[in-house]
Structure 1
C-alpha cells in the first residue's frame, strides 16, 4: 500500500465512517455532560430521591417545578430521537448518493446540537437575555434556509433582545420558534423569503411580546407533508396554551404566518 495515497473521500465507506465519528463525538459530549450533572447533583443533594423514569431531572431545575422538568424531558426525548435518526441514516442510508447522505446526516446532527443548546439554556442558573438565546436559533436556521434558496430576514428590537424572561416562558418561546422555523425549512414549498420579527410593545401599564414568523411559500402542503405540518402546528398550539398566549397560524399573503402575543 502506498503510504502517500490519498483516500477516496467520496466513497460510501468514508462517508459512513465520517458520519459515525461525528455522531460518536456528539454522544460522547452528551455522556460527559450527563456524568458531570449527575456528580453535581449527588454533591449538592443531602438525601436520596426515588428514580422516576418518566421525569427528566436536571440540576438547575427545581424538583418541585414539574412543568419545567416535563419541558426539559421533552427536549431530551427530541434529542434522543434526532441522534437515533442520525445513527440509523449512517448505518442504513445506502439508497442515497454519498453527498446526499452526508448532507442529511449533517442536518440531523445540527438539529441534535440545537436541542442540546435548548437544554443548556433551560438549566442555566442565570438565564441570558432573550436575544442571546435567539441568536443560536438564527445561526442554526439562517444558513439552512439559505441552502434552500430562502432568505431569512431577522428583526429583534432592542427592548425584546435585552428582556429576561422566567426560565419556563423562555424555554416555551424558544421551542415554539424552533418548531415554526423548522416548519419553514421542511414545508414552505416554493418559498424565497422568510421573516422573523420580535417586538416588545408597551401600552399603558401592559407590556406584550409580539412574535411573527412568516414565509412566502405555499400555505398548505399536500400529501404526507401535510401530516407532518399538522403535528408541528399541534405542538405550537400546545406551547402557546401553556404560555397562555394567543396564537394564530395559517395562510396569509404572500404565504404562511405564525403570530404569537405574550403578555408579560
Structure 2
C-alpha cells in the first residue's frame, strides 16, 4: 500500500511538471466569443445573437433541447501549417463543422441521455486547406440533456502546436488526468483505512471483535469520493443517466457525511449522549439530496438540487465552525490537521456551489476535487498516526505482558522445584516404607519362623537352616530390587538366578535355564517389579522347601502380546485344585494370570502378563 501511495504522489508531481512545461510563449490564437445560436426547446425554435460562454441550464431553466452555434472569424490568408481547435467544455453530445465540412461528431445527437462529452476538454486538428482568407464559419451543434451541465464554452482556434501544447494539454491534465489520479489516491487511502479496520480488532472482550470505527468512516469517505471524482473520466456511464446522476449525488453526500462521522470519532464524541442527534441529522441532511437529485433530473428542474445543496452547505458550515471551536479549545496534531483541511474544503465547496450551480459561468470545473486531496491526506495522516499509536501501545502491552509472564514462569518454576523435591522425598519415603514392609513381611517372617522352630525344640537343624537361608535370600533379593530397572523382566530373572543358584546346588537340584530375550514392559514400575520378584521367589522357595525335586526348570518366552514365565519341577507335587493364596495375591497385584498344574514328577507354575 505504501508503494501505491508513493506512485500516486509521484504521478501528481509529474502532472504538475507537465502542466508547467506546457505553459510558455504562445503564438497568436483566436478566441471565438461572438456569433449566433438557434435553439430548440420543448418544440419551440429561437434564434438570437450569442456571446459565449453559453450555460444551457441558466438560459433554458434546465429543459433539454438542441442548439446550433455559428461562430464567424476572419483570416488574412490560408495558413501554411495545420491548425487546431480547443473547446474547454461542450455537451452533452455535439458535432463540429468548419466552412460546411464536418470535423468530428461526439455521441448521438438524436438520442437523449447517452454519452456525456462535457466532462473533458476537446481538441480537434484542423487541416489548413479548410481555412481560407476572409470570412470563415465554425458551427457547433449540441444536444443538451437536463442536469448534465450542457452548453458551450469559448472555443480557441489557432496553430496546432500552441493550441494543443499551451491550452489543451494543461486543461486536459487538470480535468481528466487529474480526476484519474485523484480517484486512484482516494482508492489507496480507502484501501489502507479499510485494511486497518479489518485487521486492527480488539478481541479482548466477549462476543464479536470490536473494531475502530474511525478507520471505517475514513474508508467510506474515500471510496465515495473516488467514485465521484472518477465520473470526470467516464463519458459513457454504465447506468442510465438518471440513476447515474442520483448515484453521483449519493457519493458526494456519502463523502461529506462520512467525513463528519470521521471527525466525530477523531474528537471522541461518538459515545456522548448529547451527540446522538448528529447521526440523525447526518442521515437526513445527506440523504435528502439524493431524493432532490431524483426530482430535479426527472422533472428537469435543477433548482431542487441547487436549493438542497445550499442547505447541506449551511449544515456543514455549522458543524465545521463547531469543530474548529473545539479544536481551538483542545488542540492536537490530528485535530488541527483535519480542521485545517475541513476549513479549506468548505471554502472551496462554497465557491463551487456559487460558480457551478448559481452563476452563468460555463467552462469552469469544480475545485473541491483538488482540495479534497488535502483532506484525503489529512485522513491518511490521522489514520496512520492512530495506527502508530495503537502499535506502540500494543508493543508496550506486549512488553508488560512478557515481563509478567517471565515473573510468573519464575514463580511457577520455583513452586515446581519445591513440588518436585517434595515428590522425590515422598517417593524415597514410600520406597523405604515399602522395603521395610517387605523385609517385615518376608525376611522378618522367616526369622520369626526360625525363632519359633528353635524355641519349640522339635525342629531339626536342617529345617532351621533352610528357614534362615530363605530369609537371607529374600533379604538379598530385596536389596537387588532397589536398583532393578522398571519393566526389565530379564534383569529380574537374572538376579533371581544369581542369588538362588547356590541354594539349588547345595540342595542337589539341577537348574535348567530357558529364558529368551524379553522386551521391556514399561507398565511394570518398581512396586510391580517387586511383586513379580516375590511371586517367582515364592514359587522357587516352595520347590526348595517341599518338592523334593531333582530338576528345576525356569522358562520365559514371548507368547503373542504377552510374556510367559514358567517354573517347572519334577518333585512330588501337591494338590493344585486351588492356587496358593500368596501366589494368587501377587499375580493379581501385577495384573497377571496364574495357572498351576501338579502331579507327581511334574509341577508347573505359569504366569502370563502383557
TM-score when normalising by structure 2: 0.27
CA offsets per residue over residues 93-118 of structure 1, 9 Å max, x none?
A: 8667xxx62x5454333322222234
Distance 1:83 1:74, change over 3 A: same
Correspondence for 1:235: 582
Alpha-carbon separation, structure 2, partners of 1:115 and 1:59: 21
The one of 80, 83, 93 aligned to 2:444: 80
Distance 1:240 1:258, change over 3 A: same
Q: Secondary structure at the match of 2:592?
A: coil
Correspondence for 1:174: 533
Alpha-carbon separation, structure 2, partners of 1:211 and 1:85: 29
Correspondence for 1:151: 510
Q: Please, which moves more after superposition, 108-117 or 234-243? A: 108-117
Alpha-carbon separation, structure 2, partners of 1:215 and 1:186: 12
The one of 554, 559, 569 aligned to 1:196: 554
Alpha-carbon separation, structure 1, partners of 2:542 and 2:566: 14
1:208 lines up with 2:562 in the alignment: yes
- Residue 261 of structure 1, CA deviation: 0.6
Alpha-carbon separation, structure 2, partners of 1:241 and 1:256: 21
1:130 lines up with 2:499 in the alignment: no
Q: Which runs of 5+ in 2 are unaligned?
A: 1-419
Q: Which runs of 5+ in 1 are unaligned?
A: 1-43, 47-56, 64-68
Contact 2:554–2:567, Cα closer than 8 Å, also in 1:
yes
Structure number with larger C-alpha Rg: 2
Contact 2:596–2:606, Cα closer than 8 Å, also in 1:
yes
Alpha-carbon separation, structure 1, partners of 2:429 and 2:528: 15
Q: Secondary structure at the match of 1:260?
A: strand
Correspondence for 2:607: 260
- Residue 85 of structure 1, CA deviation: 3.3
Q: What RMSD over aligned residues (CA atoms) do the two structures have, in Å?
A: 3.9
Q: Secondary structure at the match of 1:83?
A: helix
Q: Please, which moves more after superposition, 80-89 or 175-184? A: 80-89
TM-score when normalising by structure 1: 0.56
Distance 1:129 1:243, change over 3 A: closer
Alpha-carbon separation, structure 1, partners of 2:455 and 2:436: 30
Alpha-carbon separation, structure 1, partners of 2:598 and 2:458: 36
Name which structure has the greater RCO, CA cutoff 8 Å, separation 6+. Answer: 1
1:59 lines up with 2:431 in the alignment: no
Alpha-carbon separation, structure 2, partners of 1:242 and 1:71: 17
In the alignment of these two chains, the number of paired residues is: 189
Alpha-carbon separation, structure 1, partners of 2:445 and 2:503: 20
Contact 1:61–1:123, Cα closer than 8 Å, also in 2:
no
- Residue 183 of structure 1, CA deviation: 1.1
CA offsets per residue over residues 156-215 of structure 1, 9 Å max, x none?
A: 21225x6663112211111110011111112214x32221111234x4xxx311010111
Correspondence for 1:247: 594
Alpha-carbon separation, structure 2, partners of 1:243 and 1:192: 30
